[in-house]
Amino acid sequence: MSEKLQKVLARAGHGSRREMEAVIQAGRVSVNGAVASLGDRIDLTADIKVRIDGHPVSIQTENDVVCRILAYYKPEGELCTRTDPQGRPTVFDRLPKIRGSRWVAVGRLDINTSGLLLFTTDGELANRLMHPSREVEREYAVRVFGDVTEQNLQALRMGVQLEDGEAKFKRLIAAGGEGLNHWYHAVLSEGRNREVRRLWESQGMQVSRLMRVRYGDITLPKGLPRGGWMELPLDQVNYLRRLVDLKPEGRTLLDKDKQTARRQKKIKTGKIRRAVNKHQHRKAKGPKR
């Protein structure tokens, strides 16, 4: 019973499979004291010691891991990184702590973009959802500044040449606005760096607000405060797994008992509020120096 090392590390929540491949190539992973190479496989039934940067990794089989997914309302001003040398807030700061695993971000949003960001404990799921070949839809609410013409809109729907290849919106729908400020709902089926902004900039327009409102069929939960999170129920977890051809998850850590669920909801609401307040207090104090 052997598996590729990068897949095992991703499942343990240390990053996406692609990220783990880079970590292995950098010589940061060892197996039983020997530096690992990309392409190595490990026997999950054997007594094996795996380390990243000298720190032990908990080896788990697919049956050991419960796939969990969070929907997070990312505010503007947070970085999609685990740590920042300048001490700026990151999207990981307020997530709930978990034992024996880590949250892996499904894609990224740049520092000036807000909205829905998914996190999972399953690095393989994150890797597949992010892969361009899966063409998972992302929908954004976009406010642009400029004199938008029908010719501009047609170009954005048909495709324009960017520095990293041709790009276009799968759907682009007007959503109101006044004067030179216009709102649109824009849908992409890939997640290139700053793609929404670069597409509009190709038409001489400036994006003044950008917010992701949907990933696949998962929408930003109503009533969720900025900086807040909620765990997705099993049916939504399995919707995302089916989307990328992964076996369904049969377990959930969300309690089905209504009384317990209500109590947990109160606790979670308190956690979210404390996390939001902590973030606001930190923001008021300014970045670490």
Q: What is the 3-state secondary structure (H, E, C) of the chain?
A: CEEEHHHHHHHCCCCCHHHHHHHHHCCCEEECCEECCCCCEEECCCCCCEEECCEECCCCCCCCCCCCEEEEEECCCCECCCCCCCCCCECCCCCCCCCCCCCEEECCCCCCCEEEEEEECCHHHHHHHHCHHHCCCEEEEEEEECCCCHHHHHHHHHCEEECCEEECCCEEEEEEEECCEEEEEEEECCCCCCHHHHHHHCCCCEEEEEEEEEECCEECCCCCCCCCEEECCHHHHHHHHHHCCCCCCCCCCCCCCHHHHHHHHHHHHHHHHHHHHHHHHHHHHCCCC
195 and 232 assigned to the same domain = no
141 and 112 assigned to the same domain = no
Residue 275's pLDDT band, with cuts at 50, 70 and 90, is low
Go through 140-167 and write b for each residue having 16 or more CB atoms within 10 A of its CB, e for each that does not.
bbbbbbbebeeebbeebeeebebeeeeb
Report whether 214 contacts 137 (CB < 8 A): yes
- How high is the mean pLDDT of the chain? 87
Q: Which of 62-66, 104-108, 113-117, 122-126 has the lowest mean pLDDT?
A: 62-66
- CATH number for the domain spanning 113: value is 3.30.2350.10
Q: Is residue 43 part of a domain?
A: yes
Kindly state the tokens that stand for 79.
């970085």
Residue 265's pLDDT band, with cuts at 50, 70 and 90, is low
Q: Is residue 78 part of a domain?
A: yes
Name residue 120's beta-bridge partners. Answer: 69, 104
Amino acid at 265: K
Average pLDDT of the residues in 196-216: 96
How many distinct structural domains can be found in the chain?
3
- From the candidates 110, 147, 164, 217, give the one annotated as an active-site residue: 110
- Full-model pTM: 0.78
Q: Which of 56, 83, 99 is the last residue of a domain?
A: 56
Torsion of CA 255, 259, 263, 269, to 10 degrees: 80
Given a cut of 70, whether residue 201 has pLDDT beyond it is: yes
37 and 177 assigned to the same domain = no
| pLDDT top residue among 100 and 227 | 227
149 and 206 assigned to the same domain = yes
Question: How much of the chain exceeds pLDDT 70, in percent?
Answer: 87
170 and 239 assigned to the same domain = no
146 and 91 assigned to the same domain = no
232 and 280 assigned to the same domain = yes
Average pLDDT of the residues in 50-56: 93
Q: How far apart are CA 93 and CA 113, in angstroms?
A: 17
Q: Which of 215, 241, 274 is the last residue of a domain?
A: 215
End-to-end CA distance of the chain: 49
122 and 257 assigned to the same domain = yes
Q: Which pLDDT belongs to residue 185?
A: 97
Given a cut of 70, whether residue 266 has pLDDT beyond it is: no
109 and 236 assigned to the same domain = yes
Given a cut of 50, whether residue 260 has pLDDT beyond it is: no
Active-site residue 110, yes or no? yes
Q: Is residue 234 part of a domain?
A: yes
Given a cut of 80, whether residue 248 has pLDDT beyond it is: yes
Q: Give the CA distances from residue 57 to residues 18, 34, 51, 82, 223, in Å, rounded to whole numbers and listed in that order.
A: 18, 15, 5, 18, 37
Angle, CA of 197, 198 and 200, to the nearest 5°: 70
- CATH number for the domain spanning 27: value is 3.10.290.10
121 and 238 assigned to the same domain = yes
Q: Is residue 62 part of a domain?
A: no
101 and 199 assigned to the same domain = no
Q: Is residue 146 part of a domain?
A: yes
269 contacts: CB under 8 Å, gap ≥ 6: none
Report whether 48 contacts 5 (CB < 8 A): no
Domain that holds residue 31: 2-56
Q: Is residue 61 part of a domain?
A: no
Q: Which of 215, 243, 271 is the last residue of a domain?
A: 215
159 and 279 assigned to the same domain = no
Q: Is residue 63 part of a domain?
A: no
Given a cut of 50, whether residue 274 has pLDDT beyond it is: yes
Q: Which of 26-35, 119-128, 250-259 has the lowest mean pLDDT?
A: 250-259
